[in-house]
């Protein structure tokens, strides 16, 4: 790993200022960025840790939504969201392993937008709002393809606001070596309708499965998906599963998510 | 180089580190605490797990400077004050929970974190919690047995598959 200057600000303003420096990059839990730096695929000159900023940590209920600081760890979300938004808590509690959950953060996961990550499905499936240091971005506009998001250079996620559904569920078919989702489905039922987000399957990353949203909005039961078919076009294929295999998993995992909700 | 200060196994320590110095490097090379092992260096294997403020953390995937002021416990801090093996360590020995021993420091530290959270885990809970700790020798079974035994549970019923 190339060396860098390490800074750990205690306010958002200081962090934003540090990130304006040349070749500066944000560090949260480091569970994606550090392996990337070890491979020298990233070599920031300045690394700005976001974990020492109190306003960026914690889980708090705000009316109909759960607002989670971007630097909150998966373990904290698993614990603190359990009573209000169990589907989100169980998603966080199923990421990687206990040590990964003690360091990895929701902001890091969303900013990274790995096509097989869990949190993008929760954010898109809940219709979350990503709050940054400059604006608020709807999840529908945030994810822009593999490892790419609407964030501008130097822009940081401060918190994420998840509307709390009447019912919600997440089902992940685990890729056993990486523990990421080979395919995962997040389902959330609101008074206004049902949202379904699929991760691990799309060539462009997380996406909404609109046919399932329609069917489940009409009848909220796993059986409502029975007559739907998923096209393998645009789905990922690799040694773990073909596009057709993932297409089948999309349906199976969505049904499981409904049953879990 | 920047100065970093932590508490390691109850003792205040400090040292000069680079930005890129990993916690595990600070422990092994800076403090000579070579009980913590590096297996993969890519956050996959769990050999390097230590406790940071009471929580299991992969020390290959944390920068020393990010843990300024933290309280760290390593495998060297698991023995009893008189130098004899701690309960969990003794259980690993009694139940043959190790062969080459490379994964053992991480297994013991992760298991200790589990027992602190959940003093009487079920077999399934032990296996689930140890998901990020890879062992290439034992087949896990005796590790699970050791953890259950260390929690004071009867392991005679755990099948020796
Ligand atoms: C063994 C292992 C298993 C895993 N299993 C899973 C799994 O099952 N499911 C899953 O979803 N993930 C999994 N992960 C990934 C894990 O959740 C990571 O923690 C996460 O993807 C990145 O979060 P981080 O806090 O570690 O971010 P970092 O690695 O610190 O940062 C990632 C990227 O986001 C940027 N960034 C970080 N925070 C912010 C912010 N607030 N604003 C803007 N940019 C930011 C960084 O600059 C960097 O580019 C696993 C990781 C490991 C090592
Ligand atoms: S050496 Fe840290 S996880 Fe393998
Ligand atoms: S005892 Fe050899 S790797 Fe576990």
- CATH number for the domain spanning A9: value is 3.30.43.10
Note the residue count of chain A: 261
- Ranges in chain A, pLDDT < 70: none
Q: Are residues B70 and B13 part of one domain?
A: yes
Residue (of B128, B135, B126) closest to B47 by Cα position: B135
Q: Are residues A157 and A76 part of one domain?
A: yes
In a domain, B132, yes or no: yes
Residues touching ligand 1 (Cβ under 6 Å) are A 25-33, 50, 70, 95-96, 100, 104-105, 107-109, 111-112, 114, 117-119, 151, 156-157, 179-180; B 43-44
The total number of structural domains in chain A stands at 3
DSSP secondary structure of B33-74 = -TTS--S-SSSSS-TTEEEETTEEEEGGGSBGGGGTT-EEE-
Output phi, psi for B75, to 5 deg.
-60, -30
Q: Domain end: B78, B111, B139, which one?
A: B78
Q: Are residues B74 and B14 part of one domain?
A: yes
Q: Are residues B118 and B137 part of one domain?
A: yes
* CB of A51 closer than 8 Å to CB of A79: no
Q: Are residues B71 and B115 part of one domain?
A: no
CATH number of A144's domain: 3.30.465.10
Q: Are residues B133 and B97 part of one domain?
A: yes
pLDDT value of residue B160: 54
State which residue of chain A sits closest to B130, comparing Cα positions: A97
Q: Are residues B30 and B8 part of one domain?
A: yes
In a domain, B16, yes or no: yes
Give A130-178 pLDDT, tens digit per residue: 999 999 999 999 999 999 999 999 999 999 999 999 999 999 999 988 8
CATH number of A236's domain: 3.30.390.50
SS3 of chain A: the string is: CCCCEEECCCCHHHHHHHHCCCCEEEECCCCCHHHHHHCCCCCCCEEEECCCCHHHCCEEEECCEEEEECCCEHHHHHHHCCCCCHHHHHHHHCCCCHHHHHHCEHHHHHHHCCCCCCHHHHHHHHCCEEEECCCEEEHHHHECCCCCECCCCCCCEEEEEEECCCEEEEEEEECCCCCCEEEEEEEEEECCEEEEEEECCECCCCEECHHHHHHHHHCCCHHHHCCCCCCCCCECCECCECHHHHHHHHHHHHHHHHHHC
Locate A19 and state its tokens.
Answer: 């990130």
Please state whether beta strands B49-52 and B71-73 pair in parallel, antiparallel, or not at all (unpaired).
Answer: antiparallel
Q: Are residues A217 and A152 part of one domain?
A: no
Give A112-135 pLDDT, tens digit per residue: 999 999 999 999 999 999 999 999
pLDDT value of residue A176: 85
Q: Are residues B146 and B94 part of one domain?
A: yes
pLDDT value of residue B157: 75
Q: Are residues B74 and B9 part of one domain?
A: yes
Q: Are residues B67 and B91 part of one domain?
A: no
CATH number of B96's domain: 1.10.150.120
Q: Are residues B74 and B6 part of one domain?
A: yes
Q: Domain end: B49, B78, B107, which one?
A: B78
* CB of A179 closer than 8 Å to CB of A96: yes
What domain range is B50 assigned to?
2-78
Q: Are residues A178 and A140 part of one domain?
A: no
Q: Are residues B100 and B73 part of one domain?
A: no
Q: Are residues A130 and A78 part of one domain?
A: yes
pLDDT value of residue B159: 59
The whole-angstrom distance between B62's CA and the closest CA on chain A is 7
What domain range is A195 assigned to?
167-260
Q: Are residues A156 and A191 part of one domain?
A: no
Residues 92-131 of A with CB under 8 A from B: 96-100, 102-103
For residue A4, the chain B residues in CB contact (below 8 A) are 19-20
* CB of A64 closer than 8 Å to CB of A141: no
The total number of structural domains in chain B stands at 2
In a domain, B161, yes or no: no
Locate A236 and state its tokens.
Answer: 């990922």
Q: Domain end: B44, B78, B112, which one?
A: B78
- Ranges in chain B, pLDDT < 50: none
- Nearest 5°: the CA angle B43, B46, B47 is 115
């Amino acid at each position: 790993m190339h060396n860098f200057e390490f800074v750990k600000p205690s306010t958002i303003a200081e962090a934003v200022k540090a990130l304006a420096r040349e070749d500066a990059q944000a560090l949260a839990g480091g569970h994606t960025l550090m392996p990337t730096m070890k491979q020298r695929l990233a070599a920031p000159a300045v690394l700005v840790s976001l974990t020492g900023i109190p306003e960026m940590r914690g889980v708090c209920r705000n009316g109909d939504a759960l607002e989670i600081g971007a630097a909150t760890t998966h373990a904290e979300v698993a614990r603190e969201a359990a009573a209000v938004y169990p589907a989100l808590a169980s998603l966080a509690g199923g990421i990687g392993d206990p040590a990964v959950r003690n360091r990895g953060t929701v902001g890091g996961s969303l900013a990274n937008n790995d096509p097989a990550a869990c949190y993008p499905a929760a954010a898109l499936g809940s219709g979350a709002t990503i709050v940054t240091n400059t604006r608020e971005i709807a999840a529908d506009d945030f994810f822009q393809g593999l490892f790419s998001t609407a964030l501008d250079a130097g822009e940081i996620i401060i918190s994420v606001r998840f509307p709390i559904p009447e019912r919600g569920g997440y089902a992940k078919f685990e890729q056993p070596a990486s523990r990421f989702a080979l395919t995962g489905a997040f389902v959330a039922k609101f008074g206004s309708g049902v949202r379904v987000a699929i991760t691990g399957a799309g060539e462009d990353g997380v996406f909404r499965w609109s046919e399932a949203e329609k069917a489940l909005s009409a009848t909220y039961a796993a059986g409502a998906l029975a007559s739907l078919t998923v096209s393998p076009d645009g789905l990922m294929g690799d040694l773990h599963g073909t596009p057709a295999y993932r297409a089948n998993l999309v349906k199976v995992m969505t049904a499981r998510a409904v049953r879990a909700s | 180089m920047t100065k970093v200060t932590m508490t390691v196994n109850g003792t205040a320590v400090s040292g000069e580190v680079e930005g890129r110095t990993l916690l595990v490097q600070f422990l092994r090379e800076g403090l000579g605490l070579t009980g913590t092992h590096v297996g993969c260096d890519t956050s996959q294997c769990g050999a390097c797990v230590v406790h940071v403020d009471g929580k299991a953390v992969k020390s290959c995937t944390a920068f020393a400077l990010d843990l300024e002021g933290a309280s760290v416990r390593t495998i060297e801090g698991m023995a009893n004050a008189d130098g004899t093996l701690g309960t969990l360590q003794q259980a690993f020995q009694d139940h043959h929970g190790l062969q080459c021993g490379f994964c053992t420091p991480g297994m013991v530290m992760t298991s200790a974190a589990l027992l602190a959270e959940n003093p009487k885990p079920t077999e399934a809970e032990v296996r689930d919690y140890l998901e990020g700790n890879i062992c290439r020798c034992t087949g896990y079974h005796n590790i699970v047995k050791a953890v259950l035994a260390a929690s004071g549970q009867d392991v005679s019923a755990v099948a020796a598959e």
